[in-house]
């Protein structure tokens, strides 16, 4: 039987001004984080909580898609997925109100086009991050075919 809970440990260490670094005893790399430049004291060129929020949605979509594609035996050549997180002030508070993901899936066979689109939507539906947040997640999927059979 699978465990009912999994834990993901992070450590944040403030380094200076509005910057810090995030690490995990489970991972090798650190991520430098900072207040985004849109805010006073924000710093350009460093991952912000808003970037990481958007990244969690799009990376969860990718891992969900690869799982359902493997299970459904969909042969695909590539997947790229630009994403945009929208932060706005609502009722005098900033929130991440929307994340738009735009997966572009390349498959080999025309016969798999409908299946591919269904699996893209299934991945968005089962993504645990999307299910865990109140932010609206929109998907604008494109399936491209490289060869026909």
In tens, the pLDDT along 109-138 reads: 999 999 999 999 999 999 999 999 999 999
The domain limits of the chain are 1-47, 49-145
**Residues 53 and 85: beta-carbon distance below 8 Å:** yes
> Model's pTM, two decimal places?
0.91
**Residues 121 and 102: beta-carbon distance below 8 Å:** no
Buried b (16+ CB within 10 A) or exposed e, 74-91: bebeebebebebebeeee
Q: What does the pLDDT read at residue 3?
A: 76
CATH topology of domain 49-145: GMP Synthetase; Chain A, domain 3 (3.30.300)
Torsion angle, alpha carbons of 12, 16, 18, 22, to 10: -20
For residue 8, give the DSSP letter: -
């Amino acid at each position: 039987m699978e465990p009912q809970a999994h834990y993901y440990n992070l450590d944040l260490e403030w380094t200076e001004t509005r910057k810090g670094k995030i690490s995990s005893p489970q991972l090798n790399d650190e991520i430098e984080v900072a207040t985004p430049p849109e805010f006073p004291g924000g710093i350009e060129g460093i991952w912000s909580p808003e970037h990481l929020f958007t990244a969690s949605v799009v990376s969860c979509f990718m891992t969900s898609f690869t799982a359902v594609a493997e299970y459904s035996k969909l042969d695909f050549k590539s997947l790229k997925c630009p994403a945009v997180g929208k932060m706005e002030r609502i009722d005098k508070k900033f929130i991440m109100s929307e994340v738009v993901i735009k997966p572009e899936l390349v498959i080999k066979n025309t016969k798999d086009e409908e299946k591919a689109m269904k699996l893209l939507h299934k991945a968005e539906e089962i993504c645990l991050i999307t299910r865990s947040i109140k932010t609206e997640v929109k998907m604008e999927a494109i399936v491209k075919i490289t060869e026909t059979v």
